[in-house]
A and B are shown apart, each in its own frame.
Chain A
């Protein structure tokens, strides 16, 4: 995957992040996006990510969602079969100009992140009254 981080033997290539743990491979989470009236809803599957560790940021009209899977092995058990692995979910979306980047709501429940985006006032259709001359 393009977002995969390279291991650098102790040093971490990222500089701005305080988190220096090795977070493993990066996965692209499955996402639903739908629009109704002036609200755009983004629904992202983040199984195993605690609500506290979900990071939603907006920079240069790019919305980035990041979350590290925190699903420790059951104590006293050893893994004998695996179809999913620990790592980090990450996905970026570019926000169109019509979205108000300052008014994004985020909710997390049962491993699903729901972002509610609103269209900016400027982008809403306006009625222009035609005055009779």
Chain B
């Protein structure tokens, strides 16, 4: 939990939620038009015992159009979002969905083994599960009784 520098009596449990919401609003209202600025897709990151999961909101991107690269502690999500229509004669009334090529580089909290990467897409959410190399797993050391 983040500390906002408030004394416990003033702590508002919804402050964090509101802050997150305002961040979300900003994300949805501006800047989302182009995927070229390196901020698309939006991601969440999850940490497990020996692995890390990155989930990304990328609606409308077919599984085959997603290009993933993993190296050491960097994940690159790249691909292309197609326009809703290629018809030149169509008249546009509203055009808010980002489109075009995108590439986003994400720094992971641990080094991952490229052989231990699994990616799944469901309802426009891409989930990438990456495992730590065996050599780097924390090992339990037994204390021997002398």
Interface residues of A (CB under 8 A from B): 1, 4, 7, 24-25, 27-36, 40-41, 43, 45-51, 70-71, 73-74, 76-85, 87, 110-112, 114
Contact = CB atoms under 8 A, between A and B. Distances in A.
A47 B93 contact: no
22 contacts: A24-B17, A25-B17, A25-B20, A30-B96, A32-B94, A33-B95, A34-B87, A36-B85, A36-B89, A36-B91, A43-B97, A47-B57, A47-B58, A47-B124, A49-B124, A74-B53, A77-B46, A79-B44, A82-B44, A84-B44, A111-B57, A114-B84
B45 interface: yes
Given A41-B84, A47-B57, A73 B89 contact: no
How would you classify the secondary structure of chain A's contact residues: helix, strand, loop or mixed? loop
A77 B51 CA distance: 9
Contact of B24 (A25, A30, A34, A78): A25
Interface in B1-50: 14, 17, 20-21, 23-25, 27-28, 32, 42-49
